[in-house]
Structure 1
Amino acid sequence: MEGKKDYWLKSGFINIVQNFSGVFFGFAGFYLLVRLLTKHDFGVWTLFISTTTILEAIRSGLLQNALIKYISSSDAKEHPAIITASFAINGIVQVVCIAAILIFSPWLSRLWDAPQLVEMMYWYIAIYLLSGLQAQFNGVEQANLRFNGIFVTTIIRQGVFFTFVLVSYIFSFSVELVFLVWVQIVSALAGMLIAYVHARANLALSAKVSREWMGKLFGYGKYAFGTLISSLLSGTIDQMMLGAMLSPAASGAFNIAVRITNLIDIPGNAVATIVFPQSAKRMESEGPAAIKYLYEKSVGTTLALVVPVVIFLYLFSGIVITLIAGEKYADSIPLLQITLLYCLLIPFGRQFGTILDSIGKTRMTFFVVIGTATLNLCLNYFFIRQWGVVGAAYATLCSNIAGFAVAQVILKREIGVNVLNTFVYMYKFYPEFLDRYLRPMLKARS
């Protein structure tokens, strides 16, 4: 019992640290970069990050969860075969992705009018190899209920990059984009070495690669991979198409609005982390009625946290953009106002995926996500041609509305969800929070 309690405490702590450090270092680094770089260079950096995030997700979706699942649930004597099979799949994925980088980087550079992107992507190959090893080591460590390496590598990788940006800003250094990639190589090397040190005690390998375990790992990861990639594409395709159809600067301006609205998604991420295991457990013991309540309650709670922030940012969007990004990004103000509207739909979509995955409907989640991503791609093409940068925001809003409608039809059919109940729970959240937390806190102080 102590072991289980210890596991949940540690894994919960890691989740909090990784989310907090990601938000802090990511947003703080972004705040400084928009001041260090020109609008064009910041746009190129946005396109570089969007592309490399997809490459990282290809590997992560196929491997990481499957590796953790099978090591943690299999007999110790199977671990060498599982780890070796995972390394083999990782190697295949690395070769394919590196080949894609070498082939398509010049084309992307011409498409986005970003000559420096070719050199950046070629240097990124080193990061991709190092981060692949780190992901393997972290997966093995986590599957064996050890967490220190994950904690340290998370802080080191993000902290080294942020420190470089902060020093450059303080001392007004001229920063070339390729310098940022070199710093990422250093941080990736440090992260990989630290991850290896913490995982090496459990890094037993087998003499040959097991095709059976490769099949199991790939079979488990393929739908998670497809859903993750489709979701990422849905979130980045607008920026990529802006870079191709207009300019990198347009992509950068849109990225400003997206980064601000991403902060609003933090409550949704936290609630989803809690809901996933609860929904799987309740489906087994209590059936669909419990899942229906869990979905409606979790969405209502998330909306209660999100709506006041959305209203505030909408009313003061001009001040927020100026404070965060500076006056040169005034063109991001209308983009922020539109993206804030689809922030209200994100809690519905996130909990839809969480609930369906937890009750074994991963295939259905995959098709809904890929359908929404495809619609987003098509709408972006036509809307950007018609309205320019603001067309990308309208395209994402429309595709989110369509995805919301489809998801609610499925949830109504599968577990009887009534979307109006989510607003009832949202309304009830405020007096409940007041009675259960604020009033007792005020009484204790008085």
Structure 2
Amino acid sequence: MSTREHIVRGFKATLVARAIYMISSALLMFVLARYLLDPDGYGALYWAIGILAVVQLFADVGLGKSAARYISEYRETDPGQIPHLLRSTVAFKLVVLTVVASALLVFHERIAVLLGDPSAAPFLAAGVLYITVNSFNVFSQIAFQGFNRLEYSAAVQAIGGTARLVFAVLFVLMGLGALGALFGYIVGYAIAAVFGMAVLYYRFYRPTDPAPTYEEGLSRRLAEYSVPLTATRSANVVDKQIDTVLVGVFLTPAAVAFYTLGKQITDFVLAPAESLGFTISPNFGEQKAAGKLEEARRIYETSLTHTMLVYVPAAAGLAIVAEPFITLVFGGDYAGAVPVLQILAAFVVLQAITNLTSDSLDYLGRARARAVAKGVTAAANLGLNLLLIPTIGVVGAALATVATHSVYVAVNLYIVHTELSLRLARLGRSMAIICSITGAMAVAVLLVTPMVSTVLMLFATIGLGGLVWAVLVLVSGFVDLRDVRSVVG
């Protein structure tokens, strides 16, 4: 199977699972926000999840990504080391997870008081279970990525998303409120973790004959490489979660709901880019190890231009229809999310590039450089959040995210360029065409948006934008219809 066919197959599997996961997430978001929880309850739930995400990074560190990097390398050169790698990784994880979970159990009430909301204590106590099951849920997905068996990663993610939806809604309907929704997350991730770890054991660990000895220094390198990955992951959490936590600290649960809703919608839009980045990243390690940097460059450039062809117009359209979308789908109580979503539309483009690039840099062996960049921009993001949230409210958190992520994306692209020598002039011409297509599509959507008064009209407007975009893409010759058929078929 060629590299292209392998990527397409993995992308299809990952995209289907990501679609299941994001549809289940969208349904959960819609049902909770529209029918089951008021803005205060919705905000309380996702404020707690934001806090637990910060705790999670101490429980996971960078061991999963580090293991995946070495699995990807050794499955080609010395498969017998992989059982040793997996045993070391799980042992390290259990030790760290035990320490962090115990600390959270002992200090959860003090943490809630310190953050200014003692009522969050039950959420943090339940968080001991949350971080435990989610740790192994995520680890199994990352390990399968290292084996380049993305269909298993996809299955774990889909199972977790579906189970989370079912149990979160069930527990809220039983009268358990926002805390019940959190227990729905716990049960869903527990089911996914059991499935993922079972497949990892029976399909990859047991069938592989371990080498007589563990390669000297490999365990140390596994731990050492996790350090920059931990720094990057910590910075990612600062970027993605600390703003939500700070909104809850400085403002109200309703403000958290508005900010969270805007971010969840952008996450839904970003699912295909995340799937593509997750799919192609192991191939960069393989191509670099084989000395095929030109092939790696071609894969990255093609992926980047096609990602931007989708996400630049999507971001423009999202900003234009943000107001009718929020008020018609989620209700007028969530109108405060409109300016947040309009600002975060720019973040959609930036995060699409990041999703495509970040994991690829890890597999290219540039995790340390990316960690430095992420650390600096995350610190800047934290500072801007502390400055802007108290002064201009929830919009300040969105502005801080866009501003700092712009710098991070620029640095990531520079690092990729130093590794792969990207053809900048060719990429620039492609971006000019994409911006022209976006402008024409935006004009069409702007003309009809003022007339939108129902959900049906809203989706008709979105469909019109999609139709204009598709026609322009084909007419411009940017995409060959035969290539589309070969990928879909």
When structure 1 is superposed on structure 2, of 431-440 and 331-340 the one drifting more is 431-440
The alpha-carbon distance between structure 1 residues 223 and 31, as it changes in their structure 2 partners (threshold 3 A), is same
Unaligned stretches of 5+ residues in structure 1 = none
Match of 2:345 among 340, 345, 355: 340
1:316 and 2:317 equivalent? no
Q: Which residue of 1 aligns with 2:274?
A: 269
Q: Distance in 1 between matches of 2:413 and 2:5?
A: 37
1:118-165, Cα deviation, whole Å (9 max, x unpaired): 112222323433444555666777777878875654444322221234
Residue in structure 2 matched with residue 179 of structure 1 by the alignment: 180
Per-residue Cα deviation, 1:92-119 (whole angstroms, up to 9, x for no partner): 2112321342355324423444434211
Distance in 2, matches of 1:372 and 1:236, equals 14
State whether residues 144 and 150 of structure 2, in contact with CA within 8 Å, keep that contact through their aligned partners in structure 1.
Answer: yes
Provide the residue aligned with 2:309 in structure 1.
304
- CA gap of 1:236–1:422, structure 2 versus 1, over 3 A, is farther
User: What's 2:118 paired with?
Assistant: 115
Which residue of 1 is the match for residue 91 of structure 2?
88
1:281, distance to aligned residue in structure 2 (A):
5.9
Q: Which residue of 2 aligns with 1:385?
A: 390
Stretch of structure 1 that moved more, 35-44 or 297-306: 297-306
CA RMSD of aligned residues (A): 4.0
User: Quick one: structure 1 residues 286 and 157, their matched pair in 2 at CA, closer, same or farther if it must change by over 3 Å?
Assistant: closer
Alignment CA distance shift 1:333-1:200 (3 Å): closer
Residue aligning to 2:62: 62
Q: Provide the rounded CA distance (Å) in 2 between the counterparts of 1:188 and 1:282.
A: 34
When residues 11 and 65 of structure 1 are mapped into structure 2, their CA distance, relative to the original with a 3 A threshold, is farther
2:251 is matched with 246
Matches within 5 A, 1:406-421: 406-407=411-412
Q: 1:48, CA displacement in angstroms? A: 1.8
CA separation of 1:17/1:225 partners in 2, compared to 1, >3 Å: closer, same or farther? Answer: farther
**CA positional deviation for 1:42:** 1.1
- Range moving further from structure 2, 39-48 or 155-164: 155-164
- In structure 2, distance between residues paired with 1:297 and 1:199: 32
- 2:161 matched residue in structure 1: 158
Match of 1:217 in 2: 222
Contact 2:145–2:278 under 8 Å retained in 1: no
CA contact 2:168–2:183 (8 Å) conserved in 1: no
Shift of 1:10: 7.0
Q: Deviations over 1:43-100 (max 9, x none)?
A: 1111122233344455555232343454562656545533332222011211232134
**Alpha carbons of 1:145 and 1:356: their partners in 2 closer, same or farther (altered >3 Å)?**
closer
Paired with 2:30 and 2:16, the residues of 1 have a C-alpha distance of 21
Q: Which amino acid aligns with 1:87?
A: V
Give the number of equivalent residue pairs. 438
Q: CA deviation at 1:380?
A: 0.7
Q: Which amino acid in the other structure matches residue 37 of structure 1?
A: L
| Amino acid in the other structure paired with 2:324 | I
Partners of 2:54 and 2:356 in 1: how far apart? Answer: 22
Contact 2:59 2:101 in 1 (8 A): no
Which amino acid is the alignment partner of residue 42 of structure 2?
F
- Segments of 5+ residues of structure 2 without an aligned counterpart are 438-471
CA contact (8 A) 1:140 1:203 kept: no
The aligned counterpart of 2:242 is 237
Q: How does 1:41-80 map to 2 (within 5 A)?
A: 41-60=41-60, 62-70=62-70, 73=74, 75=78, 78-80=81-83
Q: Which residue of 2 aligns with 1:353?
A: 358
**Which residue number corresponds to residue 99 of structure 1?**
102
SS of the counterpart of 2:365? coil
CA distance 1:213–1:55, shift in 2 (3 Å) = farther
Give the C-alpha shift of residue 29 in structure 1. Answer: 0.5
Deviation digits for residues 364-423 of structure 1, max 9, x if unmatched? Answer: 111111111000000111111221222212222221233345456656666665767545
Per-residue deviation, 1:317: 1.3
CA contact (8 A) 2:389 2:397 kept: yes
Residues 24 and 64 (structure 1), Cα distance of their counterparts in 2 relative to 1, 3 Å cut: same
Letter in 2 for 1:241: L
Distance 1:183 1:256, change over 3 A: closer
The percent of aligned pairs where both chains have the same amino acid is 20
Aligned to 1:30: 29
More displaced 10-residue stretch of structure 1: 95-104 or 362-371: 95-104
